[in-house]
């Protein structure tokens, strides 16, 4: 039922009003600093904390982060390009000599959930990677607790691991950013290695934080593709899963900015990834007027969106989906103009491989930024061939081709 429609005009108006408000206060404090200098400084720092996104007018937009991810899209990555899950952007490293161990170690994994196909695919890959590391004597066992999308459950899970898990290392895939920060900090205080991946937390106490480039990069890749293939004034329907998750909000924040700058009329809705809602939204939009493009913050439901155009007898839109097999197949079948942004699923292997290095005492990146490249129309056939026979919910860039269970485990979708 989570769904929101925002007439872009309303958003712009509201954003403008908000901007005007914050801009006023910002301007005052910067241009007319109070006579007392220490007061002026205090006001300025307070301002920086109180207005999260002065430029974009959106609380999730962060110009510095946006620029950084924009650059990272074309950055060069260290490591073997054949194994993108081990690649990283050169940067600050963490020394891990203190964690070196000879014995197999017990790993405790606090997982946010496996409630969507992306997480399920990654979870399967992770377990196959675990088998390899168990065979090589790096890891004795991995105890996993699934928080089922609940912050409180995950906090309890982490505290359980700390208190009685007997863990030699922690892997945490946080459910939400702010709520999980204290729990991750408590895990850090145990002095054991902590690996955080996927969604982030507001602390850098972890030994390493593993993630693909990020949400802004996704938004930039996908929105620029739409802008390149549409004309000014064209209508784009943006289908978003749910509010409040940083990686998803950043995707939209970037895309919204690019649409605004290029005169694309974008209307965004929350769908909860429910295909019924998606179809309803598209039908209503098509009933009001033509829709030239569809932007999605995740591929789940892309097929339903395309079907809605078929059902209404309308022309196919320019589409952005994800590297999910259902979308790649539908994309090929229909021949529509599209792109598949990727939120690298192979990152689920990396935390265990990071622990392998940590237990060997090798230094690892403090922030492990993995490559994140969209699949273009030219590359599509290759990925379809490589993943032939995989179920619809499978992700093309899952990166498990060299693991022992390939391809049956993914083909049968055996969820541990």
Partner 1 sequence: MSAAVTDRSAVLQQNRAPWHERALRALRTPGGAVFVLLVVLLLAAIAVNPSFGEPGSLIRFVGRTAPIAIAAIGQYFVIVSGEFDLSMGSVVTAQVFVAGNLIGQDDSRTVPVLVLMLVLGALVGLVNGLVTTLLKVPSFIVTLGTMLALLGLVLYWTGGAATGNPADSFRQIGRGGVQDVPVLEVLPYPVVLVTVIAAAAFWLMRRPYGRTLIAVGDNPRAAALTGARVWWVRTRAFMLSSLAATVAGIILVGYAGVHPSVGRGYEFTAITAVVLGGVVLGGGRGWVLSAAAGAFALETLFALLNFLGVQSTWRDTVQGVIIILAVAAGTQTWRRRRRGRTAPAQAPKHVIAAQPAPGSDQEGT
Using CB under 8 A, list all residues that contact partner 1: 1-7, 9-10, 113-117, 119-120, 269-270, 272-281, 283-284, 287-289, 300-301, 303-304, 307, 311-312, 326, 391-393, 413, 415
| 64 vs 287, beta carbon nearer partner 1 | 287
**161 phi/psi in degrees, rounded to 5:** -60, -45
CB of residue 28 to partner 1, shortest distance in Å:
31
CB of residue 298 to partner 1, shortest distance in Å:
12
| 120 vs 292, beta carbon nearer partner 1 | 120
| 62 vs 300, beta carbon nearer partner 1 | 300
| 259 vs 269, beta carbon nearer partner 1 | 269
| 40 vs 391, beta carbon nearer partner 1 | 391
CB of residue 373 to partner 1, shortest distance in Å:
24
**271 phi/psi in degrees, rounded to 5:** -115, -15
CB of residue 26 to partner 1, shortest distance in Å:
27
CB of residue 242 to partner 1, shortest distance in Å:
11
Contact call for residues 207 and 195 (beta carbons, < 8 A): yes
Q: How many CA atoms lie within 13 A of 108 on its CB side?
A: 22
Cα-based distances in Å from 306 to 59, 259, 321, 329, 376: 31, 21, 10, 12, 18
**134 phi/psi in degrees, rounded to 5:** -70, -40
Q: Which of 221, 256, 72, 96 is nearest to 168 (CA)?
A: 96
Contact call for residues 358 and 169 (beta carbons, < 8 A): yes
| 230 vs 281, beta carbon nearer partner 1 | 281
CB of residue 10 to partner 1, shortest distance in Å:
6
**219 phi/psi in degrees, rounded to 5:** -60, -40
CB of residue 352 to partner 1, shortest distance in Å:
20
The DSSP annotation for 359-371 comes to: HTT--EESEEEE-
| 151 vs 392, beta carbon nearer partner 1 | 392
Peptide bond into 407 cis (omega under 30): yes
Query: Rounded CA gap, 64 and 35, in Å?
Result: 30
Q: According to DSSP H, which parts of 73-212 are helical? A: 117-135, 151-164, 177-189
């Amino acid at each position: 039922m989570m769904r929101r429609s925002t007439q872009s005009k309303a958003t712009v108006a509201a954003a403008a009003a908000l901007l005007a408000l914050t801009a006023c206060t910002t301007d005052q404090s910067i241009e007319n600093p109070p006579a007392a200098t220490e007061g002026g400084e205090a006001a300025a720092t307070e301002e920086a904390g109180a207005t999260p996104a002065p430029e974009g007018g959106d609380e999730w937009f962060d110009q510095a982060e946006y620029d950084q991810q924009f650059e990272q899209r074309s950055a060069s990555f260290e490591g073997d390009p054949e194994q993108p899950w081990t690649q990283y952007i050169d940067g600050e490293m963490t020394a891990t000599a203190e964690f070196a161990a000879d014995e197999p170690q017990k790993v405790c994994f606090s997982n946010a959930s496996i409630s969507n196909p992306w997480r399920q695919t990654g979870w399967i890959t992770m377990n196959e990677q675990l088998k390899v590391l168990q065979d090589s004597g790096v890891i004795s066992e991995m105890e996993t607790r699934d928080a089922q999308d609940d912050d409180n459950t995950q906090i309890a899970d982490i505290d359980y691991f700390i208190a009685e898990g007997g863990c030699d290392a922690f892997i945490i895939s946080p459910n939400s950013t702010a709520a999980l920060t204290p729990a991750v900090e408590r895990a850090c205080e145990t002095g054991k290695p902590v690996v955080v991946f996927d969604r982030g937390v507001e602390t850098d106490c972890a030994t390493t934080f593993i993630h693909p480039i990020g949400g802004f990069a996704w938004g930039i890749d996908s929105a620029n593709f739409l802008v390149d293939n549409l004309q000014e004034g064209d209508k784009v329907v943006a289908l978003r899963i749910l509010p409040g998750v940083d990686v998803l909000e950043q995707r939209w924040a970037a895309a919204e900015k690019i649409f605004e700058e290029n005169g694309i009329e974008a209307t965004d809705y929350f769908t909860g990834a429910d295909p019924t809602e998606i179809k309803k939204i598209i039908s209503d939009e098509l009933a009001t007027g033509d829709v030239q493009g569809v932007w999605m913050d995740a591929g789940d439901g892309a097929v339903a969106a395309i079907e809605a155009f078929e059902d209404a007898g309308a022309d196919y839109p320019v589409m952005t989906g994800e590297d999910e097999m259902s979308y790649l197949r539908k994309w090929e079948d229909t021949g529509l103009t599209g792109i598949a942004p990727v939120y690298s699923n192979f990152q689920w292997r990396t935390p265990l491989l990071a622990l392998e290095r940590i237990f060997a005492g090798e230094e690892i990146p403090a922030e492990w930024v993995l490559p994140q490249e969209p699949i273009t129309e030219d590359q599509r056939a290759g990925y379809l061939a490589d993943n032939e026979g995989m179920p619809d919910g499978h992700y093309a860039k899952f990166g498990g081709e060299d693991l022992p269970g390939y391809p049956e485990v993914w083909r049968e979708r055996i969820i541990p």
